[in-house]
Chain A
């Protein structure tokens, strides 16, 4: 069981997730303080550690559209959030897989802030409404990266497996 701590609409851009003026901060250890920085109340709760790891941010379509800034993924990752959205923008999806941010693609997902949900392998169940929603699996092309625990360990494996690198 996990609680929906924030409910957002469609087309939530990386400018909303991680405002551009904090982009000089790059290290994953430092970016979480600026997660949703312009949503001041939610950001304050995150910084006060009032949001337990595993909590859910629910959104509509095209979550993470816009800039390629990886801080958007690393900032959410640092708080241990899970993002359930109807779908995700390409670069954000990729960055999240690379860094190990937990994303769930769930078309038609409907829930409100404060509701409890149960996250299974193939479905999300809204415990409040009793409705269950099917999960779309992440792109199969990226499974090897997920299995390796992220793109850095995956690339390290590939590097060590190669006697020489691409010309």
Chain B
């Protein structure tokens, strides 16, 4: 069995399952953000006229993290957040992260750094980038708000078809200024935005074994941009180290690994030793080119952060490039750490001072400009270069603008020149 087959077999109380089977797995963690307001609405609708008390099946397994619009940008959002706080208090939901500088942040960082996700878990989230949590050896997938209301009611995901799995083998050492973001953009370019639709991607190889959990989160985060239901990195020593040392998990952890005769519908081999920095060009994530092909493109706004690339190692790379230099005139550089905890570490390391001295604006943790709903919108005919995960038309709030996606190294080097720049040349050194 593949990893997802093993996880779903256990969660459905069966010895074996295979791709195509329909199962109803118990859910180990159910995550929502501000769209919890819609989940609550649908949840109450389920219980309407049933005579049953609308109580979630297990409040200890529900996580709610405010990140999409923090602090609230409008009375409507503030009222949605208020409604959620009341529900959280009423049902004693403890995995709740309000708008706070100490424990707040983006859901796809808050779940890992608090040890909420464990190897072998079934995780559902009302956010498409829930795929991120496969980085810890879990099966984690995005669902809609009504489906979450069903999970809150029944404690299971109803009628789940066991997905097929694509195996990606990664070998080689990354060249300087090339990393996990370039790997996943390259993979999406190779298999296309539909290449993994309804499938899981398992990541293997020496490059993955050496990769930090932070890098693995980048791979799994963006697996959904190839259509994947989930990305999964098999839990290993690094996973256990991260969960014990960084997330403070005390309980016994049991990695789930694939059988040697597991069936894969496709195998993709990638050698990263000669990989160049990759750029996803407008308006699809699979429109991927090596940086040299788009170098020189004028950039009005550089964004570093998000659930994809807002972690400490990302900020270290970017700060290392801009330290002692200045963001180009006519270009805005916005930095969004992924959580309050990361923000505080970046402060302690002096990274925030480096960014500000260079002319960058450091914002509070949150989804920020990534999806164009809150702040950092683009003007007509402006171009953004961003470490986020989507470049769809209108993504940053303006259909008359363009978004290019890249790594933190490319973003930082480009902020200094005001145009898309290869960090391996000139300013990056």
Q: Could you list which residues of chain A lie within 8 angstroms of chain B, going by C-beta atoms?
A: 10-11, 13, 15-16, 19-21, 23-27, 38, 61-62, 65-70, 73, 87, 89-91, 94-95, 98-99, 139-142, 144-145, 150-152, 154-156, 158-160, 162, 165-167
With beta carbons under 8 angstroms apart, the residue of A38, A70, A91, A167 that contacts B399 is A38
Interchain CA distance A154-B395 in the complex, whole Å: 34
Contacts of B154 in A (CB 8 A): 155, 158-159, 162, 165-166
Contacts of A141 in B (CB 8 A): 22, 159-161
Question: In the complex, what's the smallest C-beta–C-beta distance from A131 to chain B, in angstroms?
Answer: 24
B80 within 8 A of A: yes
Contacts A139-B161, A141-B22, A152-B45 given; indicate if A66 touches B146 (C-beta within 8 A): no
- The list of the 6 closest CB pairs from A to B, nearest first, reads A166-B155, A95-B144, A26-B38, A20-B371, A70-B144, A13-B392
Chain B CB within 10 Å, residue with most, of A24, A89, A167: A24
Contacts A20-B371, A20-B372 given; indicate if A26 touches B35 (C-beta within 8 A): yes
A90 (CB) vs chain B CBs: closest residue? B198
Interchain CA distance A73-B145 in the complex, whole Å: 11
Task: With A20-B394, A70-B126 given, name 15 new contacts (CB 8 A).
Answer: A10-B194, A13-B390, A21-B373, A23-B371, A38-B394, A68-B128, A68-B143, A68-B144, A70-B144, A91-B142, A151-B146, A152-B42, A155-B149, A155-B153, A160-B52
Contacts A11-B284, A152-B46 given; indicate if A73 touches B144 (C-beta within 8 A): yes
12 contacts between A and B (CB under 8 A): A15-B372, A23-B34, A23-B373, A26-B37, A65-B194, A70-B144, A94-B143, A95-B146, A142-B159, A151-B158, A155-B150, A165-B154
B contact patch SS: loop
- CB of A11 within 8 A of CB of B390, answer no
Number of interface residues of B (CB under 8 A): 60
Contacts of A166 in B (CB 8 A): 26, 57, 154-156
Contacts of A67 in B (CB 8 A): 127-128, 371, 390
B197 within 8 A of A: yes
Q: Name B118-133 residues within 8 Å CB distance of A.
A: 125-128, 130
Contacts of B160 in A (CB 8 A): 141
Interchain CA distance A48-B150 in the complex, whole Å: 34
Question: In the complex, what's the smallest C-beta–C-beta distance from A120 to chain B, in angstroms?
Answer: 26
B227 within 8 A of A: yes
- CB of A15 within 8 A of CB of B227, answer no
Question: In the complex, what's the smallest C-beta–C-beta distance from A89 to chain B, in angstroms?
Answer: 6
- CB of B57 within 8 A of CB of A152, answer no
Question: In the complex, what's the smallest C-beta–C-beta distance from A143 to chain B, in angstroms?
Answer: 9
B87 within 8 A of A: no
- CB of B142 within 8 A of CB of A15, answer no
Contacts of A139 in B (CB 8 A): 161
Interchain CA distance A61-B150 in the complex, whole Å: 29
Contacts A141-B159, A156-B46 given; indicate if A11 touches B194 (C-beta within 8 A): yes
B147 within 8 A of A: yes
- CB of A20 within 8 A of CB of B147, answer no
Question: In the complex, what's the smallest C-beta–C-beta distance from B55 to chain A, in angstroms?
Answer: 9
B381 within 8 A of A: no
With beta carbons under 8 angstroms apart, the residue of B35, B46, B194, B284 that contacts A23 is B35
Question: In the complex, what's the smallest C-beta–C-beta distance from A18 to chain B, in angstroms?
Answer: 10
B289 within 8 A of A: no
Question: In the complex, what's the smallest C-beta–C-beta distance from B156 to chain A, in angstroms?
Answer: 5
Contacts of A98 in B (CB 8 A): 144, 146-147
A-binding segment of B69-77, B263-271, B408-416 = B69-77
B49 (CB) vs chain A CBs: closest residue? A156
Contacts A15-B390, A99-B146, A152-B42 given; indicate if A165 touches B57 (C-beta within 8 A): yes
Interchain CA distance A102-B58 in the complex, whole Å: 33
B50 within 8 A of A: yes
